Amino acid sequence: MATEMITVFIVVFGLMVGSFLNVCIYRIPKKESIVFPRSHCLHCNHQLRAWENIPVISFLMLKGRCSSCKNKISFRYPVVELLTAVLFLLTYFRFGLTIDFLVYIYLLCLLVIITFIDIDTMEILNGLLILCLIVGVYPVLEGGINSIYQSLIGALSLGLGFLLIRMFGQFLFKKESMGFGDIKYAAFIGLLLGWKMALVASAIAFISASVLFLILLPFGKIAIGQRIPFGPFLSLGALLGLLWGTHILEWYLNLVF
């Protein structure tokens, strides 16, 4: 019974945090306060009442429309809330109720914010990467000298690797193919995961981006040479590398060898 209660609490907590992340995703790029003013309709500035601000439930009750002006509410709001709850739950299943769990749900919140801001603006903000560094040094301090070497090699290898991709893309296509934000984000992932898991994360990022490109290309949703935000794919790689990177690497090595 205790496990079920903890699971329910984590899901509810994740939904509430996800609601706050929606505010961050919208306001941070605009350099607006994430505290004031209160949540409101983006069309008519109607301030949301308590019952209109319940994660997911309010969206369903309102049928996806503002109670005042009847304009549509973006479907992204419940998606981010549900996604955050699922990520919190997966982290709990992986780490249990430990310090690791608290540290990494903080990280996952930042990954969600970075992902959706990059989708909206094609930019990964330096301020968010600085906040990520608080988590990036955690496994380094926890793992001792060997972990320090692993993390530094990971940061350098991914950072320099993505810089080379940027330089090669500019030479080949005569335009920017990899933003500096992606390079810094990749370097952070290398610092966080160490070089082995960082390679797993980067491989997942490139494979998932390629698969999505191949799916969207026949439908005309994307064109060859079109730049797409790479942050979401790096976030996916970081997530899978953090939670199951060792298992993925073992599976791949067994498959090849």
Same domain as 251, residue 159: yes
Boundary of a domain, candidates 70, 97, 124 = 97
Buried b (16+ CB within 10 A) or exposed e, 76-86: ebbebbbbbbe
pLDDT higher than 90, residue 159: yes
Asked if 15 and 134 sit in the same domain, the reply is no
Domain hosting residue 25, numbered range:
1-97
Which of 191, 204, 130, 207 lies closest to 157, judged by CA? 191
How many domains does the chain fold into?
Answer: 2
- pLDDT at position 146 is 65
pLDDT band at 41 (very low <50, low <70, confident <90, very high): confident
Question: Does 122 lie in the same domain as 208?
Answer: yes
Choose among 120, 127, 90: nearest CA to 108: 90
Q: Is residue 174 over pLDDT 80?
A: no
Q: Which residue has the tokens 């930019």?
A: 123
Whether residues 184 and 224 fall in one domain = yes
pLDDT at 1: 52
Query: For 233, what's the count of Cα atoms within 13 Å in the CB-facing half-sphere?
Result: 20
Go through 55-71 and write b for each residue having 16 or more CB atoms within 10 A of its CB, e for each that does not: bbebbeeeeeebbeeee
pLDDT in tens, 231-242: 999 999 999 999
**pLDDT of 46-80, one tens digit each?**
888 888 889 999 999 999 999 889 899 999 999 99
**Residue 145 pLDDT level (bands cut at 50, 70, 90):** low
Residue 182: CA count within 13 A, CB half-sphere: 25
21 burial (CB, 10 Å; 0-12 / 13-18 / 19+) is buried
- Is the pLDDT score of 7 beyond 90? yes
